[in-house]
Amino acid sequence: MLNDDPGNWSNPRLPRIMRFFEQFFGFDKAGDVFKDNQRKNLEGIRQWNTNVLIHDAKMLIEHVLKNDRDVIAELLTTNQYFVAHPGDNEYAREFYDEKIAKVTAPGYVENEIAEKEKQLIERREKSGLSDEKWQKEIARVKKKAELVVKRFRAALDLGITPHPDFPFTRKSRGLADLIYITPYNLPATGRSETQEWDWPVEQPFEMPADQRAGILTHPAWLAAWSLNDGNDPIHRGIWVREKLLAGKLGDVPPDVDAKVAIDPHKTLRERMEPLRAERCWNCHHKINPLGETFEIFDDWGRFRTEVYFGKDREIVHRRDSQFERMKKKGELTTKPVNAAGAITGSGDPSVDGEVKNAVEMLHRLGRSDRARQSVIRHLFRYFMGRNEMLSDSKTLIAAEQASLQNKGSFQALVISLLSSDSFLYRR
């Protein structure tokens, strides 16, 4: 189960271990959250490709599982990510070296045309092909090959590594360009544009440590736990409370209208201020201080430090060319993002307390006993198909000890659970 090759990540029959992390984190639901096309254009999202973002997150999980050290803590705190990469460094290096040698060699364009002509000859012999279509096909291949040479040479002249346009195969999974990478705060470029980001051939690579910490700050998770038009601090806070702090929350009272007031002059956090009233705060004090820490990201997953306001004092969400003109003319004012929060109920005084944002929260909480034990509890439920009972306490304790004694090994944790009486005599 640990070593099963996933093959195609879009296949619903995933390996059991990856299926657990999908269900636990819920990042695979990123594509289910509707994002308006008009918003994408206005807010500078060149391409909103949640399938590839989810793929990137799975590559990260697979990498941490392969290393099999401090797995739970690493998944919650690492700033090492995969972006536009197949996940296999040996394959990536081999493909990249072959592509570089091929594209930079003399006669690349001519060779591509000659290869296409062979295909067209076979096609003409089988089903016929007019001279007009022949010329169009040759012109298309020539233009594409010239663009590839131009793009590769431009990147190499800038001293950066060109992305090799992985084909759509089982190994490469169709990672063809860098146009989707905006949610990582990286400059997006299409195949016909001059590349700006120095793409690392070998990954994972380090993202800024003050901006990313594990799966919960990954664009896939942030998008999955968002709304179609903004962040969702409530459900993010509930996720942290229940999944990492083993907390339990009651249902929303039937007489409560669970909506946040709309006010374009206020930030989301400011609009949620009424929830700090005594009646609401009885429950929301367990949620908001955790979920609001993620306000350092927008609902696309981009890290941010400021909120922009226009002349009318309304929040400016656009990030297009008009935004840049407004910024250049000094028509915008800013306010620092308030992502301060607090951890409560961890059972450890060194963990509980105020935090300045989600990154700090996850570094403190990610290596805590409570978070580790809570993840183990959810893994137990996944394999047993039921909630834990008092009689399962020995199984849970033994599983945690097995992991700790093996340097945080997830494999030792799984073996312990699947060889326990709770599993062997399950009903």
- How many other CB atoms sit within 10 Å of the CB of residue 153? 13
Region of poorest pLDDT, from 275-284, 297-306, 403-412: 275-284
| Domain span holding position 107 | 89-184
- Residue of 63, 34, 27, 29 lying closest to 48 (CA atoms): 34
From 365, 395, 422, the end of a domain falls on: 365
Residue 343 within a domain: yes
Residue 149 within a domain: yes
| Average pLDDT value for residue range 315-336 | 94
In this predicted model, what pLDDT tens digit does every residue of 30-65 receive, in sequence order? Answer: 999 999 999 999 999 999 999 999 999 999 999 999
Mean pLDDT of the chain: 91
Residue 64 within a domain: no
Residue 4 within a domain: no
94, 42: one domain? no
For the cut 70, the answer to whether the pLDDT of residue 8 exceeds it is no
Give strand pairing partners of 189: 178
Residue 418 within a domain: no
Q: How far out from the chain centre does Cα 378 lie?
A: 21
243, 351: one domain? yes
| Average pLDDT value for residue range 207-227 | 98
| Average pLDDT value for residue range 213-232 | 97
From 311, 332, 365, the end of a domain falls on: 365
164, 241: one domain? no
48, 159: one domain? no
Residue 82 within a domain: no
Q: Are 376 and 403 in contact (CB under 8 A)?
A: yes
Tokens 């909630």 label which residue?
A: 387
What pLDDT score does 2 carry?
61
User: Residue 386 and residue 221: Cα distance in Å, rounded?
Assistant: 25
From 315, 333, 365, the end of a domain falls on: 365
329, 238: one domain? yes
- 6 by Cβ neighbours in 10 Å (0-12 / 13-18 / 19+) ranks as middle
171, 238: one domain? no
219, 357: one domain? yes
342, containing H or E segment: strand 341-343
Give strand pairing partners of 226: 231
234, 272: one domain? yes
| Average pLDDT value for residue range 379-390 | 94
Residue 422 within a domain: no
Query: What pTM does this model have?
Result: 0.93
358, 223: one domain? yes
Domain count, the chain: 2
Residue 291 within a domain: yes
- Give me the amino acid identity at 270: E
For the cut 60, the answer to whether the pLDDT of residue 7 exceeds it is no
What pLDDT score does 129 carry?
80
- What lies within 8 Å, CB to CB, of 103 at 6+ separation is 148, 149, 152
